Chain A
Amino acid sequence: MARFFVRRLALSLVTLWLLATIVFVIANVLPTDIGRTILGPFASQQTVDALNERLGTNDPILVQYARSMRNLVTLDFGDSFQSGAPVMPTLLAAMGRSAQLAALALLLTIPISIVAGVYAARRRDRPSDRAIVLFGVTSSSIPEFVTATFLVVVVGVGLGWLPVLANPPPGAGLITTVKYLLMPATAMAVVYFGYIARMARAGTIEVLQSDYVRTATMKGLSTNQVIRRHVLRNSLVPTVAVIGVQIGYLFGGIIGVEKIFNYNGMGQLMLFAAQRKDIPMLTAGAVVIGIVYMVATLIADLIIAWMNPRVRLDEGR
């Protein structure tokens, strides 16, 4: 296990370096005059030059690259073009609020999708299975912000059940906070239902066809016992993998949802940064979400290795 972990961690660090390099290339190497982009077409060339000088965009590209790698190692992504304050504290605070939203979305979607997927696998090709598969395809193909608008119109404005803005009042308790976050979290949860339920279904169907499940059934275990003791542990391996991947993507989809519900998380922060061409903030956002993705997939891989010894023996070698 330790060997597996070390190998997996080393690969993650390589990926992290590459990822930061890709972001650096997009932000600094593409032929753009950053000072001009920020100040707009009507600023004088002198002001543009002065700004480029101050931002360090005139430095040789290797100097800029070294600086961005140092930023990555120290996890300090410099100062915001907009406010001049360091970007990291602002970003982390906003990410904390987004993480609350994401956590609620996952809490809603993971149990429901796994139960639905396993149930669909057991009722394969019957109407209830077809319905779950169809709902899965539908739900995962509609963008989060579209689902969010439907929810706002029906549940928020039409029925008046839930607040249409997501920022809970200061000092709100857990129940109130959940009430405010429930609608945006549902909009995100719906998208991930399709991915997770599909994996849980496919994994379960595959395991149900295996020899050892037939043996278990023939030695007289009830279907529920077979599922609980023999099927789930193996059938949920791909499901855990897909959840790990989706946690990173969650932070991409969250931007639209936060905009609809005016929630002051990292999505709003990124949009604000985009409008003001605040490239250090956007760069930091992209790299930090990349780190979240890698940590999530790393944890998912460890859970998989723990669930299935064959994986850790193969990869550890």
Chain B
Amino acid sequence: MAVSVTNAPGPAPAAATPASERAQARRETLKLLLRRPGFVVGIVILTFWVICAVLAMLEVPYTPWDPFDGYDLTIDNPAPPSSEHLMGTDRLGRDVFSRVLYGARDVFTVAPPAALIGVVLGALLGLVMGFYRGITDDVLSRIVEAFLALPVIMVALLTLVVLGSSSVVVIGVVGILFTPIVARTVRSAVLAERQLDYVTAARLRGESGPFIMVREILPNIAGPIVVELTVRFGYAIFTVATLSFLGVGLQPPSPDWGLSVSQEYSNMISGVWWPTVFPALAIATTVVAVNLIADGLQSVLSE
């Protein structure tokens, strides 16, 4: 995003900058990002999982939902990793490698829309709170404060019990629970922005509140919003995995990683670690990758 224009004066600053200059600024930002090893590692890991998600839809070694051919539930035990089953098989004789690959798909279909809902609603709310201040801000701030006092996992648990579990409900619930957090961040960014001259100028020109919020202020706080979107994406993976692990997220026989851990973890004690550890590693690497990217964006975009 065009970070270099953050403090540019005048109306609609983004449009006032020549296109070539903006492209230049974007290249510089990218160069700064690529100089950070954490960011690059994050991108590499995330790309790996995106490729897995896409490939899994085309072809996996075994069907993720069924035992492999010839598996007999009554006599066979989960097989440890071997050349035939790279990550072994689980207690139902399903190939763990295929399930982990397929599970990547769930991560990229559930977490991003949840993060996006949270950021879009949160940004709108934050803009309104920061721009209008006064009684609107006071009332909304108290509600945001009350939401923040409730642990996300606990409220999600209650809501999913009331509404029933499905991908759509999980996306909606996580998105709405993220809204107040985003709103608070955006609100403080707007408070800093609204004192600048270009906002005053737009006011004096007689532009309407919604116009100033969306067309003048929003482009200038794009940096923090992009950071917030990445951070929320990380938390969305974290939260959705936890909800699936707790049994109120995605439902069996989905190869979702959190769900796989929840169904297999009790066998760890008897030494059957592979059906738990591989999905757990998949969750860990994905969230760490997203957070490394967020961390890099934060330090480059907020300078």
> Contact flags (1/0) for B250-269 with A, using CB distance below 8 Å?
00000000100110010011
Q: Are B162 and A32 in contact (CB under 8 A)?
A: yes
Q: Are A274 and B287 in contact (CB under 8 A)?
A: no
Q: Are A23 and B247 in contact (CB under 8 A)?
A: no
Q: Are B261 and A157 in contact (CB under 8 A)?
A: no
The reply to whether the CB of A162 lies closer than 8 angstroms to some CB of chain B is no
Q: Are B161 and A138 in contact (CB under 8 A)?
A: no
Inter-chain CA distance A300–B292, complex, in Å, is: 29
Inter-chain CA distance A258–B141, complex, in Å, is: 33
Q: Are A145 and B242 in contact (CB under 8 A)?
A: yes
Residue of B nearest to A293 (CB): B149
- Interface size for chain A: under 10, 10 to 19, 20 to 34, or 35 or more residues? 35 or more
B residues near A153, Cβ cutoff 8 Å: 268, 273, 276-277
The reply to whether the CB of B147 lies closer than 8 angstroms to some CB of chain A is yes
Contacts known (A157-B268, A277-B161); A252 close to B151, Cβ less than 8 A: yes
Q: Are A293 and B151 in contact (CB under 8 A)?
A: yes
The reply to whether the CB of B38 lies closer than 8 angstroms to some CB of chain A is yes
Q: Are B241 and A249 in contact (CB under 8 A)?
A: no
**Among residues 198 to 222 in chain B, which have CB atoms less than 8 Å away from a CB atom of chain A?**
none
Q: Are A143 and B247 in contact (CB under 8 A)?
A: no
The reply to whether the CB of A18 lies closer than 8 angstroms to some CB of chain B is yes
B residues near A274, Cβ cutoff 8 Å: 157-158, 160-161, 246-248
Q: Are B163 and A23 in contact (CB under 8 A)?
A: no
Q: Are A283 and B158 in contact (CB under 8 A)?
A: yes
Q: Are A270 and B280 in contact (CB under 8 A)?
A: no
- Most chain A CB within a 10 A radius of its CB, from B38, B146, B152, B248: B146
Residue of B nearest to A14 (CB): B142
Q: Are A150 and B277 in contact (CB under 8 A)?
A: yes
The reply to whether the CB of A142 lies closer than 8 angstroms to some CB of chain B is yes
Q: Are B149 and A294 in contact (CB under 8 A)?
A: yes
Contacts known (A141-B291, A293-B149); A275 close to B247, Cβ less than 8 A: yes
Contacts known (A149-B265, A253-B153, A255-B246); A26 close to B158, Cβ less than 8 A: yes
**Among residues 266 to 297 in chain B, which have CB atoms less than 8 Å away from a CB atom of chain A?**
268-269, 271, 273, 276-277, 280, 283-284, 287-288, 290-292, 295
Task: Determine which of B145, B242, B276, B284 lies in contact with A256 in the assembled complex, contact meaning CB atoms within 8 Å.
Answer: B242
Q: Are B150 and A19 in contact (CB under 8 A)?
A: yes
Inter-chain CA distance A111–B90, complex, in Å, is: 40
The reply to whether the CB of A251 lies closer than 8 angstroms to some CB of chain B is yes
Task: Determine which of B147, B161, B287 lies in contact with A143 in the assembled complex, contact meaning CB atoms within 8 Å.
Answer: B287
A residues near B159, Cβ cutoff 8 Å: 26, 30
The reply to whether the CB of A69 lies closer than 8 angstroms to some CB of chain B is no
Residue of A nearest to B143 (CB): A18
The reply to whether the CB of B245 lies closer than 8 angstroms to some CB of chain A is yes
Q: Are A137 and B151 in contact (CB under 8 A)?
A: no
Q: Are B147 and A22 in contact (CB under 8 A)?
A: yes
The reply to whether the CB of A286 lies closer than 8 angstroms to some CB of chain B is yes
In whole Å, how far is B265's beta carbon from the nearest beta carbon of chain A?
Answer: 6
> Contact flags (1/0) for A99-140 with B, using CB distance below 8 Å?
000000000000000000000000000000000001001101
- Give the interface SS of chain B, mostly helix, strand, loop or mixed: helix
- Give the interface SS of chain A, mostly helix, strand, loop or mixed: helix
A residues near B273, Cβ cutoff 8 Å: 153, 157
The reply to whether the CB of B93 lies closer than 8 angstroms to some CB of chain A is no
The reply to whether the CB of B19 lies closer than 8 angstroms to some CB of chain A is no
Q: Are A252 and B154 in contact (CB under 8 A)?
A: yes
The reply to whether the CB of A259 lies closer than 8 angstroms to some CB of chain B is yes
The reply to whether the CB of B234 lies closer than 8 angstroms to some CB of chain A is yes
Q: Are B157 and A26 in contact (CB under 8 A)?
A: no
Q: Are A141 and B238 in contact (CB under 8 A)?
A: yes
Q: Are A285 and B154 in contact (CB under 8 A)?
A: yes
Task: Determine which of A15, A34, A249, A286 lies in contact with B142 in the assembled complex, contact meaning CB atoms within 8 Å.
Answer: A15
Inter-chain CA distance A141–B241, complex, in Å, is: 12
Inter-chain CA distance A254–B160, complex, in Å, is: 18
Q: Are A270 and B245 in contact (CB under 8 A)?
A: no
Q: Are A145 and B245 in contact (CB under 8 A)?
A: yes
In whole Å, how far is B101's beta carbon from the nearest beta carbon of chain A?
Answer: 18
In whole Å, how far is B135's beta carbon from the nearest beta carbon of chain A?
Answer: 14
Contacts known (A27-B162, A152-B268); A249 close to B283, Cβ less than 8 A: no
Inter-chain CA distance A14–B242, complex, in Å, is: 31
Inter-chain CA distance A153–B273, complex, in Å, is: 7
In whole Å, how far is B75's beta carbon from the nearest beta carbon of chain A?
Answer: 25
Chain B residues with CB under 8 Å of chain A are 38, 142-143, 145-147, 149-155, 157-164, 234, 238, 241-242, 245-248, 258, 261-262, 265, 268-269, 271, 273, 276-277, 280, 283-284, 287-288, 290-292, 295
A sample of 5 inter-chain contacts (CB < 8 A) reads A14-B142, A142-B238, A145-B258, A146-B284, A290-B149
- Given A30-B163, A141-B234, A153-B277: 16 more A-B contacts, CB < 8 Å: A27-B158, A32-B162, A37-B162, A150-B280, A153-B276, A156-B268, A156-B269, A252-B154, A256-B242, A256-B246, A285-B154, A286-B154, A286-B155, A289-B154, A290-B146, A290-B150
